[in-house]
């Protein structure tokens, strides 16, 4: 847990150092979190989890399509675990996405968008009741939709994305529902 906090603090400090020049060029920085719903076979093993997201995106002014690079940490409980069980599933992922922001009027404070892309997903079972199982990294795809709410250079967003990870023996599927803030942008 201490290592996760150190990595998160380091990421925030690095993002802060480059934020002013990037914001001047139209980049947007996002921080968010929320619930993650495991689906299919993964849903049989894992219970509803939580996640945190950090992202940087760029959508050129006057053009509806842009890019977003994001990282997410997720943790899930174990489904039907006995009392006192110490174990969970964690996923650390990085994705590269295309973002399409729908055109709205200049006065509108709400702007819908769709997002989708590819990524790498690292899975690990952690806790005292799991032997050192190591981690597994797999390729995956994601797609979803959301809404941006703008208030000057600060905004908020709500988003849902379906993730399909090509894992063995069956694909791992989950849907994070994220609420967060965006800084910068046009």
In 3D space, the residue among 172, 175, 173, 145 whose CA is nearest the CA of residue 158 turns out to be 145
First to last CA, the chain: 36
Are 123 and 138 in contact by the 8 Å Cβ rule? The answer is yes
In 3D space, the residue among 22, 42, 50 whose CA is nearest the CA of residue 179 turns out to be 50
Predicted confidence (pLDDT) per residue in 49-71, tens digit: 999 999 999 988 878 899 999 99
Query: Does CATH place domain 2-184 in 2.40.160.20?
Result: yes
| pTM reported for the whole predicted model | 0.82
Are 180 and 53 in contact by the 8 Å Cβ rule? The answer is yes
Predicted confidence (pLDDT) per residue in 94-144, tens digit: 999 999 999 888 889 999 999 999 999 999 988 888 877 788 999 999 999
Predicted confidence (pLDDT) per residue in 10-44, tens digit: 444 444 444 434 434 579 999 999 999 999 999 99
Q: What is the pLDDT of residue 6?
A: 43
């Amino acid at each position: 847990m201490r290592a996760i906090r150190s990595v998160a603090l380091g990421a925030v400090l690095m993002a802060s150092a480059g934020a002013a020049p990037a914001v001047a060029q139209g980049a947007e920085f996002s921080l968010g979190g929320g619930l993650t719903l495991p689906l299919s076979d993964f849903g049989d093993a894992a219970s509803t989890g939580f996640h945190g997201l950090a992202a940087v995106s760029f959508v050129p002014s006057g053009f509806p399509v842009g890019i977003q690079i994001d990282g997410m940490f997720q943790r899930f409980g174990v489904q039907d675990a006995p009392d006192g069980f110490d174990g969970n599933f964690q996923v650390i992922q990085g994705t590269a996405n295309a973002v399409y922001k729908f055109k709205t009027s200049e006065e509108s404070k709400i702007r819908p968008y769709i997002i989708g892309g590819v990524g790498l997903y690292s899975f690990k079972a952690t806790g005292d009741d799991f032997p050192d199982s190591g981690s597994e990294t797999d390729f995956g795809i994601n797609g979803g939709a959301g809404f941006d709410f703008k208030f000057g250079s600060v905004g908020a967003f709500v988003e849902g994305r379906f993730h399909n990870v090509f894992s063995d023996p069956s694909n791992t599927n989950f849907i994070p529902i994220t609420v967060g803030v965006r800084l910068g942008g046009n």
